[in-house]
Structure 1
Amino acid sequence: MRHLAGTVFAVLLALPLGTGSARAMNEDAVPMVLEKAVDGFIRPGYHAFEEASGTMASAMGAFCATPDEATYGAAETAFDELVGAWSHIEIVRTGPVIDDHRFERILFYPDRKSIGLKQVQAAIIEEDETATDPDYLPEKSVAMQGLLALEFVLFGTQYETMFDAPESYRCRYGAAIAENIDDIAGALSQEWDAPDGVAAHWKKPGSDNPLFRTNDEALTALLGVLVHGMETVRDYRIEYFYRGEDGPNIPTRAIYWRSENTWPSILANLEGLQDLLNNSEMVDLLDEDVRSIVSSINFLFSSVEGVVGSMDPDIEVVLSDPDQRAKLDYLLINTKDLILRLNDRYGGAIGLGAGFSFSDGD
């Protein structure tokens, strides 16, 4: 694996990138693509998240009532599935999820100064009963309400104390977090399902549309989901804890490291991005002679996903093993390549790439 990054990257460089030098967009395909983005990816993604959050809330309630290995195992499984469902739709960081700090209430990350962790630990130590009330918890810090707070409850230091007696404080706090996430998930599904709401605004750009006046504005937002999502995977899911051979490399910076969900969540991010690209049939926006751009993007997605799926779940092992670090180097190189292919090549081909940078917000 030591030479994986250089070898595979050399092969990928030989793939056609597309010209991106002139607009080559099939305007007739725009309405269908926008509709499929909403109905084929976004709405189903939030429905899956809502289903997983409901399962999580039920599992926490059962564990608190009967704290044994069986109910704890069910809660572990529910948490893994919830992380996967969220990570798949997490890439859509636009629309109702950014209202009322919903995104941060679901996932407060990165927590650069461990402020959120300290608040969660303090609530558990002090047994702050207000944090166990699902109606009051939303008024507290966003860091105390979401997935990472629930992860600490289930997997963090002294989690085993929840087995001592039914309805322990720590477990009830975890149950309140799960209910809070379920409430947010339900609200997101409801808003995306509303017939005259955000879904309709995405599907039908126009002069009276409060979100998108033109097709280009809507497509810019759609492509921005892909580009920003890839930037997040590279910059805040991998590079945030791994900065190359010279570091600093800090395993506890990796997302979901306590539950060993770092790589499953990153894989779900990547699969979500690829599903959005393909379920929306964004290839149909391109003229026939440049559709190989999407083929090369899909090839690269599959290669990156294969490496992510082979990573050791223990981040300390990943950082100490030369073969695992070679895979990390490969991921950094090729996620950067994906960003360029999506933004410059695909975006350029539909007239949104030349002189445009999603990173700069231009």
Structure 2
Amino acid sequence: MRKTLMIACAVLASGGAARAAAPEPGPLAISVIEQWLLPRNDALAEAAAVQRDAWRAACADGDYAGDLAALRERYQAAADAWAAVEHVTTGPVSLSLRPDRIFFFPDKRNAVAKALAELEAKAKAGEVPDDTFRASSVAGQGFPALERLLYEPPDGEPAARCRVGVAIAGNLATLTGQIRDEWRSDVGPLAKLKAGQGDPVHFADPGQAAARLLTDLAGGIQRDVDMKLLPVLGANLDTARPKAAEGWRSNRSARTLKASVASLTAMAAIFAKAAPAEIAASDGKAFAAAQAAVAKLPDDVGEAAADPKRRKVVEQAVAALKVAQANIVKDVAPAIGVPLGFNALDGD
């Protein structure tokens, strides 16, 4: 990815006719935030709040076993909403370790299970205070920990598990609500952009805001490839790792990718609209192909990667996503005059 972005920068430096009509970066960033990001942040905060309320109601009697189906439904809806924005690193989400607290992944050292066990041990004595919960491991604060409570066989005291579930669901509602409100604040980063200003925390000027959002787009595709698909595929059939698939416990491996790519496609369309028609059309085709390839993924992506008869479908999704990313880097970014930076997944 690093080399690819360096190529993009070189293309940008060369100039050309495509840059002559480049849009103003401030209004472009505002369009992406208002048309794409804010509605999805609103949907996430709402889904998380509904999930919190469902947990509180289910645990009123100290045991959520009888409400498991309803809680799983609320979990799936909230996780879908998170998948639509998880690639965003620009703005309020970047503060206070929010991404890891919302969704700790990948879990290479079984940190989620350890954190959950520690929380359950504390919950045996009663409700987990907010300050105690916030000081606990980030691995136990978000969706992956809640997934284990909902989709693994129950182990431990029902009341303690209830208290932990209520604490996690409440934390997710709080974090997602904060992100929503800070974007919409009268003194927040969007308000600064509308005033033609930079933000002292998030971006130096409107141009940097557009660059960071475009980098989030390119990085979001990379995230789906590098974190959700390649670890599952392994180098070959013999090294495939089915349990490396995100959300395999809740049967979300393909569902998460579909939600993510649909959202990335919508984000890309706003940037592409500012490019010449032929580049916008090419971008649309690349993302449509990526969506079509991801749509063919079976629910059990991990198992498919280890199956010689089905592995090809996973490989085709990787290939299509890489084409869409290349389109953004090599065509859209130079055409709209927005330089790409380095994202959280880039190496040295």
Task: Name the TM-score, length of structure 2 as normaliser.
Answer: 0.85
Distance in 2 (alpha carbons) for counterparts of 1:239 and 1:96? 29
Q: 1:223 to 1:157 in 2, by over 3 A?
A: same
Instruction: Report 1:112-131 matches (<5 A).
Output: 112-124=108-120, 127=123, 129=125
Shift of 1:95: 1.4
Asked if the contact 1:134/1:179 (under 8 Å) is kept, the reply is: no
Deviates more, 1:19-28 or 1:142-151: 19-28
User: Paired residue for 2:304?
Assistant: 318
**Counterpart amino acid of residue 257 in structure 1:** W
**Counterpart amino acid of residue 327 in structure 2:** R
Give the root-mean-square deviation of aligned CA atoms: 2.8
**Counterpart amino acid of residue 285 in structure 1:** A
Unpaired segments ≥5 residues, structure 1: 1-18
Match of 1:255 among 231, 246, 253: 246
SS in 1 for 2:144: helix
User: Paired residue for 1:86?
Assistant: 82
Q: 1:295 to 1:102 in 2, by over 3 A?
A: same
User: Paired residue for 2:259?
Assistant: 268
SS in 2 for 1:136: helix
User: Paired residue for 1:9?
Assistant: none
Shift of 1:46: 1.1
User: Paired residue for 2:48?
Assistant: 53
Task: Name the TM-score, length of structure 1 as normaliser.
Answer: 0.82
Distance in 2 (alpha carbons) for counterparts of 1:91 and 1:294? 22
Distance in 2 (alpha carbons) for counterparts of 1:229 and 1:214? 23
User: Paired residue for 2:234?
Assistant: 243
Shift of 1:62: 2.4
Cα offsets for 1:199-253 (capped at 9, x unmatched): 12344544x6535455532321121011111110110111122224345221221
Shift of 1:361: 8.6
Shift of 1:326: 0.6
SS in 2 for 1:172: helix
Match of 1:65 among 57, 60, 66: 60
Higher relative contact order (CA 8 A, sep 6+): 1
Shift of 1:111: 1.2
Distance in 1 (alpha carbons) for counterparts of 2:64 and 2:166? 16
* Identical columns (%): 24
Match of 1:332 among 318, 325, 336: 318
Is 1:283 paired with 2:279?
A: no
User: Paired residue for 2:6?
Assistant: none
Match of 1:107 among 103, 124, 137: 103
SS in 2 for 1:182: helix
Q: 1:292 to 1:63 in 2, by over 3 A?
A: same
The count of corresponding residues between Structure 1 and Structure 2 is: 332
Instruction: Report 1:126-137 matches (<5 A).
Output: 127=123, 129=125, 132-137=128-133
Unpaired segments ≥5 residues, structure 2: 1-10
**Counterpart amino acid of residue 173 in structure 2:** D
Asked if the contact 2:248/2:302 (under 8 Å) is kept, the reply is: no
Match of 2:286 among 300, 306, 309: 300
Distance in 2 (alpha carbons) for counterparts of 1:197 and 1:266? 30
Distance in 2 (alpha carbons) for counterparts of 1:333 and 1:99? 33
Instruction: Report 1:23-62 matches (<5 A).
Output: 23=16, 24-25=18-19, 26-28=21-23, 30-62=25-57
